[in-house]
Amino acid sequence: MITGIKKLLQQADRIIWGPWLIFLLLGTGCYLMLSLRFLPLKNLPAALRRVFLPESWKGTEGKGVSSFSSLTTELAATIGTGNIVGVATAMVLGGPGALFWMLLSGIIGLSTKLVESTLCVRYRVKNQKGEPAGGPMYVLQNAFPQKTAGRILAMLFATFAVLASFGMGNMTQGNSIAEALSVTFQVKQTVTGIVLSLLTILVILGGIGTIAKVTEYLVPCMAVFYLFGTGMVIFTHFKNLPAGVVQILWGAFCPEAMTGGAAGTMLAVENGIAHSGRMAMRYGVSRGVFSNEAGLGAAGISAAAADTSDAVHQGYISMTGVFIDTIVICSLTGLAIAASGMLGQRDPRGEVLNGTALMIAVFSDTFGRTGEWMLTISIVLFAFATIIAWEYQGEKAFEYLTGGCDRTQWYRLGYGLVTFLGAVCSLEAVWDFSDICNGLMAVPNLLAVLMLSKGICREIRTYKL
């Protein structure tokens, strides 16, 4: 039965993440980038400066959290295993060329994140406690041209968002923490799951205020720590970096890659891993979206919590998360893998190194036993931050579905218990389930973005950052 469920998940994953969804994600991003006349790229330096201005560190109306805290909550939700394990699995399953498509999806995703976050702030509401509550479900309900269709799509998005919070926001993170601690310290996954569930419940019971305070300090520290580690890996293997970059570009574009021939020199096809240009694009885009969430709409839920009345300003603040998450952190992870020469290596059982095991091998090759500790600490911090940040996004979707915030305690308890399940599940099943939830959540959000793009793009074009 378990084997049948796995096959069903894999088949559903292939259908949902087929060419149509990749075209929808990249096509929407390209359309918005052209409609905005490349303002997301032109204004990126100014937006990054805005993040550190005093007004971004404090609220204006006394409700919600500051723009900076909203951004760190978004980053906590996005800077997780997608930046470490997600990059590794993409480059194993799709070949080194997957990194190119991951970065390209990040660049294009700047425009998508800007528009969707601006919309979520523009059409947010106040909940029963007087707190700001927003997200694509409220955009669809309050602004979609066809009211009935908008409400149906809003319910679908909220349902998919709740499922995604259990999958990509929770189970994948708990799985990666459990695997990292098992490989490095031989901690049983069951023990990790129990401890992780208890810690998650303790933090999320405090709501967005507690979550924002934790992420405000945790995100900058863990990012600097990890960037130092990957930077040292690249520096140590700097002589291999040019060849690694060539492999990345070759895997994304060359004719042989389109038939699986080029990447086959790294991982044999008979082992069940056949690379192609299509697979590189498929895994690069899906893991890129998993990492930065541009197009999914979930980050707009955190953006809507910001204590500001300037929707476009908050949209630009949210947009910087894509740059930090994918263009900086994911690219350094991918370059570290390419330069280390560990891609395609096997463990003592003869299995190709993948996911957490691959990244531990990359760090161990540079730092020895200390590298295993560094990578494990990074995964634990990144993944735990994602778990607690995604709880807020899933909770707001659950609040929308139930019509109020008086039942959210049940969601919080269930969310904490699901963390245990993620820690003891297999990696493949967890990632397939998460990919499915991502794809399903993206569709109603992108429909809202496209239907409302004309007016919101006009507003952004006339905005002075």
State the Cα–Cα distance between residues 82 and 322, nearest whole angstrom.
Answer: 13
Give the pLDDT of residue 63: 61
* Residue whose entry in the numeric block shows the structure tokens 């930046």: 83
Higher pLDDT, 130 or 24: 24
pLDDT at position 115, please? 97
Residue 416: closest CA among 169, 133, 46 = 169
Global pTM value: 0.88
Given a contact cutoff of 8 angstroms between Cβ atoms, the answer to whether 51 and 317 are in contact is yes
Closest CA to 319 of 301, 298, 296, 294: 294
pLDDT at position 288, please? 81
Rounded mean pLDDT, 368-390: 88
Contact indicator for 256, 276 with CB cutoff of 8 Å? no
What mean pLDDT do residues 234-263 have?
Answer: 73
Q: Per-residue pLDDT tens for 87-115? A: 888 898 888 889 999 999 999 999 999 99
Between 427 and 244, residue with greater pLDDT: 244
Strands 125-126, 132-133: pairing is antiparallel
Question: What average pLDDT score do residues 16-20 get?
Answer: 83
pLDDT band at 351 (very low <50, low <70, confident <90, very high): confident
Banded pLDDT at 205 (limits 50, 70, 90): confident
- Quick check: 395 pLDDT over 70? yes
User: In angstroms, rounded to a whole number, what is the distance separating the alpha carbons of residues 44 and 157?
Assistant: 29
With beta carbons less than 8 A apart as the criterion, state whether 334 and 87 touch. yes
pLDDT of residue 265: 34
How confident is the model over 38-86, as pLDDT tens digits?
999 999 999 999 998 877 777 665 566 788 888 988 888 888 777 887 8
Whether residue 291 is predicted with pLDDT greater than 90 in this model: the reply is: no
Q: What is the mean pLDDT of residues 283-289?
A: 79
pLDDT score recorded for residue 197: 92
- Token reading at 379: 């995964």
Flag whether pLDDT at 277 surpasses 70: no
> What is the phi-psi region of residue 417: left when phi exceeds 0, alpha when psi lies from -120 to 50, beta otherwise?
alpha
Domains parsed from the chain with CATH numbers: 2-461 (1.20.1740.10)
Residue 175: which pLDDT band, with cuts at 50, 70 and 90?
Answer: confident
Q: What is the mean pLDDT of residues 329-343?
A: 91
State the pLDDT confidence band at 261, using cuts at 50, 70 and 90: very low
Q: For residue 377, what are the CA distances in angstroms to 78, 178, 370?
A: 17, 12, 11
Whole-Å CA distances, 188 to 184, 284, 311:
11, 32, 46
Going by pLDDT thresholds of 50, 70 and 90, the confidence category of residue 304 is very high
- Amino acid 316: pLDDT: 96
How high is the pLDDT of residue 66? 85
Is 213 a residue whose pLDDT tops 50? yes
C-beta atoms surrounding 206 within 10 Å? 14
63: left (phi over 0), alpha (psi -120 to 50) or beta: beta
Confidence of residue 251 (pLDDT cuts 50, 70, 90): confident
Termini Cα distance of the chain: 56
Determine the pLDDT at residue 270.
Answer: 34
Q: Is the pLDDT of residue 259 over 50?
A: no
Token pair in block for residue 444: 């109603």
Q: Please provide the average confidence, as pLDDT, over all residues in the chain.
A: 85
The pLDDT value recorded for residue 254 is: 64
Tokens representing residue 154 in the block: 């809003």
Question: Which 8-state DSSP code applies to residue 351?
Answer: P
Residue 82 pLDDT: 73
pLDDT at residue 46, rounded to an integer: 96
Instruction: Give the closest residue to 457 by CA, choosing from 40, 25, 74.
Output: 40
Q: Are 274 and 80 in contact (CB under 8 A)?
A: no
DSSP classification of residue 239: G
- What confidence tens digit (pLDDT) does each residue in 311-327 have? 999 999 999 999 999 99
273 pLDDT exceeds 70?
no
Query: What is the pLDDT confidence band of residue 269, given thresholds at 50, 70 and 90?
Result: very low
Q: Report pLDDT for 136.
A: 96
Percent of the chain with pLDDT over 70: 91
pLDDT tens string 416-455: 999 998 888 766 776 777 778 878 999 999 999 999 999 9
pLDDT top residue among 252 and 24: 24
- In this predicted model, which residue has the larger pLDDT, 225 or 33? 33
**At residue 341, does pLDDT exceed 70?**
yes
